[in-house]
Amino acid sequence: MSDVARSSGPKGHHYVPTMYLRGFTGAMGQLLAIDRPQNKWFRTSPDNVAKKKNFNRIDVPEMDPNAIEKALSEFEGEVAPALERIKAAKSLSVEADRSLLVNFMAALALRNPRRREDLGKIISFQKRNFVKGLQGKAREEVIADFAKASGLERDETAASLGRMIDEAKDEDFAATKEEIMMAEIDQHDPLAEKLWHRKWQMLVASDDTGGFVTIDDPVCLRWSDGLPHGGMSPGFAVLGTEVIFPISTNLALRGTFEGEENVIEADASLVAEVNSLIISNAENQIYAHDHVFKFKRRQPDELGSGATLLEDPDFIAAGKPRPEGVVVGFPAAERPQG
């Protein structure tokens, strides 16, 4: 493949697609973006947020570096009209649209900078344990590969390379971007299936609520009871968990394995509670159609306006580095009732 072909294509890859973010735009098709690290808000086009340079670009011989980005763009082209039909119907009764939605949610949950970093650490840990656990001939073959890759003579370096393996740290077995993206692909179908089997409650925001927000990591997984569970993370296949996913300013989904599927009108209090859950899952940014959205304050116990979010101590604290094992969260909302 020519250098021109390998370097072609867009450089900025969205991990939260523009077509989805348009569901949260306000005047002149712009988002209100609230950036916690920079402690500021600004209005912008959906095309300018939730993207990273070459996020989906791969470096594999004989493959188009933008193959995955192109495939995702095609997939998003199929999802966009399905999202519009779901918004209009306020229902997931059409199986084809439901399938596209849960696959879209799986893609959002997996292909996210925060999740990619975590997955890289897991792969690195597994690689290290695998190599260090090798014995006999398998170990000798790995040492030989190390020597060959280093341009060294195998017999002269066996002992030193063996020590290198034994003393290596996690970062010495760092996962490549391609390894991480392959793991994302492998995990996609199982995650989509778990999302398919949840019971989805459609929350419809009343006109006077200020509407739902979305974020830079919009598939929000939590324990249904809102309790810390000893710091144990919930899982997408675990009972007693719920997934919150905002679809637009007017609609949000809540998915559990228990209960039944229904549609409920969400008043200002419920919308604020759900927004608090969504905001608590943000890595850096929150997106809304305007500053009039509501969220639930912890102190004082009242509904806050989006215009004051950057002044909320819980919101600010949730973005700061914290000691291992310490959880600083945004106010946990009560479980939405149907």
* pLDDT at 332 exceeding the cut of 50: no
Q: What is the pLDDT of residue 243?
A: 97
Residue spans of the domains in the chain: they are: 16-51+198-318
Lookup: tokens for 278? 């969504």
Strand partners, 14: 51
pLDDT at residue 160 tops 60: no
- Chain segment 66-123, per-residue pLDDT in tens: 999 999 999 999 999 999 999 999 999 999 999 999 999 999 999 999 999 988 888 8
User: Each residue of 10-22: b (16+ CB within 10 Å) or e?
Assistant: eeebbbbbbbbbb
pLDDT exceeding 90 applies to what percent of the chain? Answer: 64
Q: Is 205 exposed, middle or buried (0-12, 13-18, 19+ CB in 10 A)?
A: buried
- What are 281-297's pLDDT values in tens digits? 999 999 999 999 999 98
The pLDDT of residue 148 is above 80: no
- pLDDT grade, residue 336 (50/70/90)? very low
How far apart CA 131 and CA 71 sit, in angstroms, is: 34
262-266 and 12-14: which strand pairing? unpaired
Average pLDDT estimate for 31-39: 96
